[in-house]
A = this chain, B = another copy of it.
Amino acid sequence: MDTEDTRRATIGDVAAHAGVSVTTVSHVLSGRRPVSTATQQKVRRSIDLLGFRPNEIARSMRSQRTHTAALVVPNIAHVVYPFVARGITEELRPLGYQISIYDTDDDPVVKADVLQVITDRRVDGVILFGFDITSTDAAVLTGASIPFVNGGLNAEVDGPYDCVRSDQRAGLEITTRHLIERFGGPLAFVGGLPGDGPADLRESGFRRAMAAAGLPVDERLVARVPYSWEGGREALAQLLAKDLPIRAVVCANDLIAIGGMAMARERGLRVPEDLAFTGYDNIEAGTMVVPTLTSVESFLDEQGRSCARLLIDRLGRGYGGPARHVSIDTALVVRASSGGTGS
């Protein structure tokens, strides 16, 4: 038996209980018009007694604002996105925004659907992270006058939308330069498969650093494999089989580097004494393998925070004005795999 009334109290219930009109209750709540102290107290007591809380749906209906920002990501289980989400939340929650995270399951159809749904729900703003934005996607949002920010690896620096990214090319230049300074050469490079998002950017970073140091790239020492531990093992097996001298390996991400190190050690090489390694992304596993892995930190939480700030800014300015582009710096984290200690 429900002793409790199942329906939540409305502002009307409060007004009736306090013996005033709904207007008065609303004014007590919002403070937009003066209300006598006596009346205020009556009203507040009724509110407490009835456990009244304003219905946000009704509020949104009236005010046309939902105090909600949506974060859309391709796959929340991919390591990078949770950190981005935390950065965004930290920035936006204090301003009274709730963050709803939506996962598109790596499926463009689901992405389109999600975008439509959040548009129908009239979120105040959207942060897309980790996508190539299609013009249809953008049209859905702009058509509903919903501001959005694009972040992540594929965010177009030159696009017409606000965007945030980290400069991966520069990041790979840093690791390459680091290995050149410490060991000279010859250097091998293990990249991701072409077309896999950041692969081209990262490889171009390697090449640029080599060129800047006046070193030629030996194409026999360039391998491209899936961004995985197994990929790294395979790449190193191939490289070592060629029996060419190699002093260090620049890897395009940490999984490849960790797999590569494992293979090198299986083949009797000492890391970093015989062969040094660097990775990219600074994943947790890199701190737990032996030797610990030199990598590049791209400050995902900061990327998230930047997205949030851009969105806030856009919320204030409306759709007008130029698109803003923010680049987040990366940082080298030197560990044992490249000789360790300091940078």
Q: Which range holds the interface residue count of chain A?
A: 35 or more
- Complex CA gap A110/B93 in Å reads 10
A219: Cβ under 8 A from any B Cβ = no
Residues of A232-259 at the interface with B, using a CB-CB cut-off of 8 Å, are 255, 258-259
Contacts of A161 in B (CB 8 A): none
Cβ contacts under 8 Å, A105 to chain B: 86, 89-90
Q: How far is the CB of A61 from chain B (nearest CB, A)?
A: 5
Contacts of A99 in B (CB 8 A): 102-103
- Say whether, besides A66-B57, A85-B77, A101-B100, A289 and B289 are in contact (CB < 8 Å): yes
A303 to chain B, nearest CB (A): 14
**In the assembled complex, A288 has its CB within 8 A of some CB on chain B:** yes
In the complex, A143 has a CB within 8 A of chain B: yes
* Chain B residue contacts of A49, Cβ below 8 A: none
Question: Complex Cα distance A229/B285, Å?
Answer: 10
Determine whether the beta carbon of A86 is less than 8 Å from that of B76: yes
Interface contact A98-B89, CB-CB below 8 Å: no
What is the bound-complex CA distance between A229 and B284, given in angstroms? Answer: 10
**Out of B6, B98, B258, which one reaches A288, CB within 8 Å?**
B258
Of residues 22 through 80 on chain A, the ones whose CB sits less than 8 Å from some CB of chain B are: 51, 53-58, 60-61, 66, 75-78
- The yes or no answer to A83 lying at the interface (CB within 8 A) is yes
Does A122 count as interface, using CB distance less than 8 angstroms?
yes
A103 touches B89 (CB 8 A): yes
**CB neighbours of A78 from chain B (8 A):** 82
Q: Which residues of B contact A288 (CB under 8 A)?
A: 229, 255, 258-259, 262, 285, 289
A83 to B8, CA, bound (A): 34
CB < 8 Å: which of B122, B258, B290 contacts A57? B122
Instruction: Write the chain B residue with the least CB distance to A144.
Output: B8
The reply to whether A76 and B82 form a contact with Cβ atoms under 8 Å apart is: yes
A269 to chain B, nearest CB (A): 13
Rounded to whole angstroms, the CA-CA distance of A259 and B290 in the bound complex is 10
User: Please, how many angstroms separate the alpha-carbon atoms of A120 and B262 in the complex?
Assistant: 53
Select one of B54, B76, B102 contacting A76, CB under 8 A.
B76
What residues of chain B lie closer than 8 Å to A8, measured between beta carbons? 143-145
- Do B290 and A51 have beta carbons less than 8 Å apart? no
Q: Are B86 and A116 closer than 8 Å at their CB atoms?
A: no
> Which residues on B sit within 8 Å (CB–CB) of A58?
61
Q: In this assembly, does A121 line the interface, its C-beta being within 8 Å of a C-beta of chain B?
A: yes
Measured CB to CB, the nearest residue on chain B to A89 is B103
Determine whether A270 belongs to the interface, using a CB cutoff of 8 Å to chain B: no
**Chain B residues within 8 Å of A262, by CB:** 288, 290
Contact, CB under 8 Å: B57 / A121: yes
**Chain A positions near chain B (C-beta within 8 angstroms):** 4, 6, 8, 51, 53-58, 60-61, 66, 75-78, 81-83, 85-86, 89-90, 93, 98-103, 105, 110, 114, 116-122, 143-145, 229, 255, 258-259, 262, 265, 284-285, 287-290
Query: Would you mind naming 26 contact pairs between A and B with Cβ atoms under 8 Å apart?
Result: A6-B145, A8-B143, A8-B145, A51-B143, A53-B116, A55-B122, A56-B121, A57-B57, A57-B61, A57-B66, A58-B61, A76-B85, A77-B83, A85-B103, A86-B105, A89-B103, A90-B105, A98-B118, A100-B101, A100-B102, A101-B101, A229-B287, A229-B288, A265-B290, A289-B289, A290-B290
